[in-house]
Amino acid sequence: MKAINKNLLSFLTLILLFGCSEDSITPTQEPQSIDPNKVYKWNMVTTWPKNYPGLGRAAENLSKYVDEMSNGRMKIKVYGAGELVPAMGVFDAVSQGSVQLGHGASYYWIGKVKSSQFFTAVPFGLTAQEMNAWIHWGGGQELWEEAYAPFNLMPMAGGNTGVQMAGWFNKEINSIGDLKGLKMRIPGLAGEVFSRAGVETVVLPGSDIFLALQQGVIDAAEWVGPYNDLTFGFHQVAKYYYYPGWHEGGSTLEIIINKDAYMSLPDDLKAIVKYASRAVNQEMLDEYTANNNRALTELVEKHGVELRKLPDDVLIELRRLSKEVMEEFIADDEMAKKIYDSYLVFKEDVIQYHSISEKAFIEIRDLEQ
């Protein structure tokens, strides 16, 4: 027994020594030298108004966390939508390297990267908890990087809103036919689903929605949920507030980094940016979770908003249309198909356990006594 242990020990010692000598003689593996006096100054453009609750705060938090974790060696200046570039110009600005960082939502870039849709939300898709698991444990991150590589961009999850609201309407939706003829602000795959239900859909940045509703350019709009919708004052220009957000069950926001800029960082700052993004990602979900119901109560009790649930048959028809849209969406795009395959395999796996855990638990916890 003793002899075996001794041999094993010698063997392990050899591996250790061999490993160490390999590291020390390979010049490419020399640890990168860090200049403690060099300060990296980056700019970050966003698709949100500056300091906007949740979405805009995430960008400010990233700047703050990176500053704190790097002991001031990395400074990120945050610009709201329209300050340096328009909201919808964020992707190009970061891709081209005129700024190093961006914060927005990947589904705004459908005209540039079709497969970007999967990294924000899929109708009747994953929840926040499930999205985080797919991205960080289920292969989503690697696919996202592959999809953005041709644009010289490194993507990271940069927040999650949780389940959103279906949106604001000025007429009641009692059947799928009531959607026909509406003009609605709704981005992403859900926009395509609504188009098939006869809705004329448009994509507008959040800050343009109020005026468009007020001036009658659109009749309906979805944005996020009570916490954000209250701050934009949509209750002043729309009467009915519908749930659930069938189209955005856990929307992920994104941080995009110019790849050349990212690669120029010393390793410790690369890690700081990565882990600060992880912190921001969770922080945003916590902020929405903590504030949504207070805002909803204010909308209903103070502002007289009519809260309504979309009828089940409307939701079932939207689910049927969503399936149709998804099948066509991936048919002519290899990358979209590859990502959706991964997404679906993960979804089917995760909902099996969630049906007997999260879902079963919440159902019984909230059952009226």
Residues at the site binding Ca ion, with contacts judged by CB under 5 A: 164, 248
Enumerate residues 6+ apart whose C-beta is below 8 A from 180: 197, 198, 199
User: Which residue, 203 or 279, has its beta carbon nearer to Ca ion?
Assistant: 203
Least distance to Ca ion from the beta carbon of 81, Å?
16
Distance CA 60, CA 78 (A): 7
For residue 249, give the nearest of 301, 311, 303, 322 by alpha carbon: 322
Least distance to Ca ion from the beta carbon of 334, Å?
28
Least distance to Ca ion from the beta carbon of 224, Å?
5
User: Which residue, 69 or 184, has its beta carbon nearer to Ca ion?
Assistant: 184
Helix, strand and coil content of the chain, in percent to the nearest 5, comes to 55, 15, 30
Three-state SS across 293-324? HHHHHHHHHHCCCEEEECCHHHHHHHHHHHHH
Least distance to Ca ion from the beta carbon of 253, Å?
11
Least distance to Ca ion from the beta carbon of 252, Å?
12
User: Which residue, 99 or 221, has its beta carbon nearer to Ca ion?
Assistant: 221
User: Which residue, 248 or 254, has its beta carbon nearer to Ca ion?
Assistant: 248
**Cβ(115)–Cβ(337) under 8 Å?**
no
User: Which residue, 102 or 162, has its beta carbon nearer to Ca ion?
Assistant: 162
User: Which residue, 163 or 321, has its beta carbon nearer to Ca ion?
Assistant: 163
**Cβ(277)–Cβ(156) under 8 Å?**
yes
The dihedral over CA atoms of 250, 253, 259, 265, expressed in degrees to the nearest 10, equals -110
Least distance to Ca ion from the beta carbon of 89, Å?
20
